[in-house]
Amino acid sequence: MVAAVGILLHGPVLTARILHLTSALHRSVTPPTSAARPDPPTPVRRAALILASPLQPFVRLVGPWRLILRRLTGRATEFGKTER
């Protein structure tokens, strides 16, 4: 699909060159070995980040406002069958 769009936009010769250069570039790049992927945050870590944040009082207010706005818009405030 990409090659077909490339041929329509650039012509066959330039598209072939671009495809050749992209594969060569892809082969030449190696991912860094020193950068280890960080562990995903646990629920306790997320809670600790929220508690340590200066925005924590505002985060605590989101729950009641969400409930109030759901009632004002007429949406259900209880869980559905699939969420139980």
- The verdict on residue 48 lying in a domain is yes
The token duo for 48 is: 């600790």
Domain count, the chain: 1
pLDDT in tens, 44-83: 887 787 777 777 777 667 777 777 777 778 776 666 666 5
Segment (H or E) for 14: helix 12-28
- For 74, how many CA atoms within 13 A lie in the half-sphere containing its CB? 0
How many residues are given for the chain? 84
pLDDT in tens, 28-47: 887 777 767 777 878 888 77
- The verdict on residue 2 lying in a domain is no
- The verdict on residue 23 lying in a domain is no
Question: Among 62, 61, 59, 64, which residue's Cα sits nearest to residue 77?
Answer: 64
- The verdict on residue 36 lying in a domain is no
- The verdict on residue 54 lying in a domain is yes
Q: What is the CA radius of gyration of the chain?
A: 26
- The verdict on residue 71 lying in a domain is yes
User: Could you tell me which residues come within 8 angstroms of residue 67 by beta carbon, excluding any fewer than 6 positions away?
Assistant: 77
Distance CA(23)–CA(26), nearest Å, equals: 5
Domain that holds residue 64: 43-77
- The verdict on residue 66 lying in a domain is yes
